[in-house]
Structure 1
Amino acid sequence: MITVKHESINGIPLLEVVLTERVNETLPTVIFYHGWTNLKESSLVHGYEIAKKGFRALIPEAYLHGERSEGTPVNERSLEFWDVVQHNIVEFPMIVDHYVKAGLTDQKRVGVSGLSMGGMTTSAILTQYPWLKTAVVLMGSPSPISFSKWLLTSKWQTGAEINLESDQFAPAIESLKMISLDLQPEKINGKFVHFWHDEDDDLVPYQPTFDFYKKIKDQDYGRHVSFTTTGSYGHHVPYMISIETAEFFNRHL
């Protein structure tokens, strides 16, 4: 059986998904981040598949989402997209530390994954925490600056036209450089990292992510990076990719 528990860690609501008979064991742990405008509950299928392999899966509620909503609907707050990602990045080690201190997480076997915005969170976390063992990026861009420029001309954007080249946004663009995996791919450092993206995705473009993979796959630091391409699913993670994600962690975490 699988146990799903609702927890709150330092004010961060999350779902803990784990095999019932292993609830109190020290386990390798995967933190899985949901997408923009989604809820933690929407990622339970991924948590289930990961937990079935013997891992502790933790699915946090992102800032401004679900239980952490603050007034204006998040889909009307597109300019705060990267603020949400930054919260995820800062909160990641806090969640890990809590579970390590509780004796429930093996600190040497921590993985991260996520879809869409959660995939971008995953790429960003790879630039910040060298102790992370492995990661799976689902339809998330490793290039936050170029994605931001595309984002503001896409169907994600509502409201007035915004020019990211203006001086007003210079500090924000500068801050994104620190979490840009495309600008510091050497931080992958030989880790097993897997990307999945669908060619027909119209919300997070496929080609830039695939180009990033082609650029790094023959480098020493990228020798264990892999990529799965599908077609016809668009911006939706099919069940078979949830299974593939869990199997990847089973091999490498």
Structure 2
Amino acid sequence: MSVRITAERSKGIALLHACPLEMTGRPLPTVILFHSFGVSKEVVSFLGYMLAAAGMRCLMPEAPFHGERFDGDAVLRQRAFWNICTTYVDEAEALRDAFRPLIADPDRIGVTGTSMGGFAAIAATARYDWVAATASFMGSAYFHRSSRALFPPLGSYDVNTADAHDSAMRTIPDPSATLCRLADRPIWLWHGQRDDVVHFSNALDLQADLRAMDGAGRLEVSLDPTGSHRVTDTAARSGVAFLSRELDVGSRSS
């Protein structure tokens, strides 16, 4: 299947838009793809291509302070990690609304993402009922806990900054605080067991917490014993297959 990828703007936000060439103007099952921290939408376009080749429309928005939206201040960007991730999720709904005529079912959209994008995909699932399927690569539902080691908003987390850190994080919605919103949702988590950035235990913790509330029935966890903090070809193909199945691509795009 031939794929068309175009650079576009929606609501002032730059994005890449991938779809099967012969179905450019037709409503299709659609996936919003969130990219990793410190890179740009182009870096994850391989996933957008694969999703489009499988018969889906893929929207790849630029995150705040990234790519075309980056102002050059890398230090400020690092300390704003959690606000960036939250705003990224905020903007997803406007993107869905802007592309509504091209979405096969605007109330059933998939989300996916890598690393920071994996965090955003889980957060979007917890926030929006219209998310019908989620494929998170190297993400986590535990924002507040993760923030103590991963991009603390004050630059460090220790006995001297703990109170100020916790205060700064109170404005950041934490998906783990509303686990009921993730219960029995079609979610696929992939994590490499040699990941030295986001530990794979985050996936197992979500599985255990959802099982404790009898809500893990539609959760799938895939761990790669040799995987690092990088999406492998096998992982990418598995994530695309999961989204294709859950969005019923075969019948919707025919």
Normalised TM-score (structure 2): 0.90
Letter in 2 for 1:87: T
Equivalent residue for 1:37?
38
Q: Is the 8 A contact 1:135 1:193 kept in 2?
A: yes
Partner residue of 1:229 out of 202, 219, 223? 223
Amino acid at match of 2:209: K
| Structure 1 counterpart of 2:202 | 208
Q: For residues 181 and 95 of structure 1, what CA distance do their matches in structure 2 show? A: 21
- The residue identity in structure 2 corresponding to 1:240 is T
> How many pairs are equivalent?
245
Aligned with residue 240 of structure 2, among 231, 239, 246: 246
How far residue 209 of structure 1 moved from its aligned partner, in angstroms, is 2.5
Return the alpha-carbon distance in structure 1 between the equivalents of residues 229 and 180 of structure 2.
Answer: 28
Alpha-carbon RMSD: 2.0
Query: Contact 1:47/1:58 (CA < 8 Å) preserved in 2?
Result: yes
CA shift, 1:185, in A, is: 1.3
Q: Does 1:2 align with 2:38?
A: no
Q: Counterparts in 2 of 1:15-34, with a 5 A limit?
A: 15-34=16-35
TM-superposed CA distance for 1:218, in Å, is: 6.1
**Distance (Å, rounded) in 1 between the aligned partners of 2:144 and 2:68:** 29
- CA distance in 2: counterparts of 1:240 and 1:120, whole angstroms: 20
Report the alpha carbon displacement of residue 172 of structure 1 after superposing the two structures with TM: 2.2
- Paired position in structure 2 for 1:106: 105
2:162 maps to 166
3-state SS, counterpart of residue 96 of structure 1: helix
User: Match of 2:33, as an amino acid?
Assistant: F
Q: Which residue of 2 aligns with 1:63?
A: 64
Q: 1:122: Cα distance to partner? A: 0.9
Checking the alignment, whether the CA contact within 8 Å between 1:4 and 1:16 is kept in structure 2 is yes
Deviation at 1:82, TM superposition (A): 0.7
Shift of 1:152: 5.0
Deviation string for 1:180-201 (max 9, x for gaps)? Answer: 2222211024221110001100
C-alpha distance in structure 2 between counterparts of 1:161 and 1:104, whole Å: 42
Asked whether the 8 Å contact 2:149–2:157 carries over to 1, the reply is no
Matches within 5 A, 1:190-209: 190-209=184-203
CA distance in structure 1 between the aligned counterparts of 2:41 and 2:155, rounded to whole angstroms: 30
Q: Is the 8 A contact 2:34 2:114 kept in 1?
A: yes
Distance across 1 between alignment mates of 2:35 and 2:131: 19
Q: Structure 2: how far apart are the matches of 1:188 and 1:11?
A: 30
Q: Which residue of 2 aligns with 1:91?
A: 91
Q: Distance in 1 between matches of 2:184 and 2:120?
A: 19
The one-letter code matched in structure 2 to 1:90 is D
C-alpha separation in 2, matches of 1:91 and 1:215:
28
Change (3 A) 1:196 1:160: closer
Amino acid at match of 2:165: F
In structure 2, the CA distance between the partners of 1:64 and 1:105, relative to structure 1 (3 Å rule), is: farther
Q: Match of 2:71, as an amino acid?
A: E
Q: SS of the counterpart of 1:222?
A: coil
The unaligned stretches of length 5 or more in structure 1 are none
**Letter paired with 2:174:** S
TM-score, normalised to structure 1, is 0.90
Indicate conservation of the 8 Å contact 2:31/2:56, yes or no: yes
What is the alpha-carbon distance in structure 2 between the residues aligned to residue 170 and residue 147 of structure 1? 12
Structure 1 residue 79: deviation in Å?
1.2
Q: CA deviation at 1:76?
A: 5.8
Q: Within 2, Cα distance between the matches of 1:33 and 1:212?
A: 20
Give unmatched runs, 5+ long, in structure 2: 248-254
